[in-house]
Structure 1
Amino acid sequence: MLGKIYVFGILFFGAPGAYVMTLFVDRGAGVFISFLLQNTLWVASTLAGWVLVMKGNITDHKKMMRRSYALAFGAVMLRFYIFLFNTFGHGVNFEHNYLIIAFASWVPNLLVAEWVNRLEEKS
C-alpha cells in the first residue's frame, strides 16, 4: 500500500510540481538541465519500478525503486548543500556554485544507489 501511495504521489504531485519549479529556476542553462534531467530520471525510474512490480520482477523492481528514492532525496540534499555553501562557503550566488549544488544534490545519490544495487547482485 505504501508503494502505491509513493508512486501515485510522485507521478501526480511530486514530478509535475518539480517540472513546474524547474521552469522558474533562473540560474542558467546548466542548472535547468540538471533539474530537468533529475526530474525525468525520477519519473522514469518510478514508472519502471511500478511496471516491474506489476510484472512480478521483484529483484529489478527493488533496484529501480532505489534509484527513484535516491533521486527523490536529491531535494533534501539540495537544501543541505545550499545551507553548507551559505554557512561555510561563498553562498549560492558565487560564480557557478548553484550549478555545482544542482548536480551534487542528486548525482552522488544515484551513484550510491547503483553501488548498493551492485552489492546486492554479488550477494
Structure 2
Amino acid sequence: MEKKIQISILNGFWLLIFAYSCTLMVEITWRYHSFALDANFLMTKQTEVEELWWYKYVFYTHVCTAILALPAGFTQFNLGLLTKYPRLHRTIGYVYVLSILGFAAPSGALIGFVANGGLFAIISFELLALGWFYFTLQAVRLAIQKKINLHHDFMLRSFALTCSAITLRFWKVMLVYLFHPNPMDLYQLIAWLGWIPNILLAEFIIYRKNHNLLNYYD
C-alpha cells in the first residue's frame, strides 16, 4: 500500500512537470501562429528562408505536427486509459504515430540538414530524426504482431526522443544561466544534450523493467 502511494505521488509529480513543459511548448509554438517568416527562431534562418524555397513549408510542418506528439505520446503510458478505454488508447496512438512518421520526423530530418551549429549539430539532428522514425515504426510493427512488451519498450524509446523538444530547451536555459557560453558552442552542445540523456534514461528504465527490478505497471 505504501509503495503504491509513493508511486502515485511520483507519477503525480512527473505529470505536473510534463503538463508545465507542454504548456511552455504550446506557448513557444503559438509564436508561429501567424506563419510569419521572421518569427522567433526563424530570425536566425533568414538565409534558408530566402534561398531554399521548401524550408518555410517544412519548418511549419514540423512545428505544427511535433507539438501533437507530446501529449499524445504521454497518454500512451497511462495504464488506466489502456485497460479501461483501449479504443481511445489506440486512437491517440494513431495520432502519435501519424504525426511522427508522416510529418514530424521526415520534416525534422529535412530541416536538420541546414541546422545551425555546423556539421557537429547536423549529425546530431539527423540521428535524432532517424532514431525517432525508426523507434516509432518498430513500436507500430510490434503492436501489430501483438508483442506488447517489446512494443512498450520501443514506444518508450520513441517518446524519449519526442521529449527532446522539451529537454533541449531546458538544457539551453540552464547552460546560459550558469555558463553564458558562445551561442554557436551552446547550440552544438544542446543538439546532443537534448536527446542523448533521454534515450539513456529510457534504456535504463527498459533494462530494469525487463529484469523484474522495476514493475512499471504497479
Q: Following the alignment from structure 2 to structure 1, what is the Cα–Cα distance between the partners of residues 164 and 198? A: 7
Q: Which has the larger radius of gyration?
A: 2
1:92–1:106 distance in 2 versus 1, CA, 3 Å: farther
Q: Choose from 190, 197, 202 the match for 1:113.
A: 202
Give the 5 Å matches for 1:15-94. 15-91=105-181, 93=183
Q: Choose from 80, 96, 102 the match for 2:191.
A: 102
Aligned length: 122
Poorly superposed stretches of 4+, deviation over 6 Å = none
Question: What RMSD over aligned residues (CA atoms) do the two structures have, in Å?
Answer: 1.4
TM-score in terms of structure 2 length: 0.53
Asked which structure has the greater RCO (Cα within 8 Å, sep 6+), the reply is 1
What 5-or-longer segments of structure 2 have no aligned partner? 1-90, 213-218
Asked if structure 2 preserves the Cα contact closer than 8 Å seen for 1:82 and 1:91, the reply is: no
- The reply on whether 1:8 has 2:130 as its aligned counterpart is no
Q: CA deviation at 1:106?
A: 0.4
1:104–1:53 distance in 2 versus 1, CA, 3 Å: same
Q: CA deviation at 1:86?
A: 2.4
Asked if structure 1 preserves the Cα contact closer than 8 Å seen for 2:172 and 2:186, the reply is: no
Q: Which secondary structure state, in structure 2, belongs to the residue aligned with residue 34 of structure 1?
A: helix
Q: Following the alignment from structure 1 to structure 2, what is the Cα–Cα distance between the partners of residues 84 and 92? A: 14
What 5-or-longer segments of structure 1 have no aligned partner? none
Q: CA deviation at 1:112?
A: 0.6
- Identity rate, percent: 31
Residues 35-56 of structure 1, C-alpha deviations (whole Å, 9 max, x = no match)? 1001100000000000000011
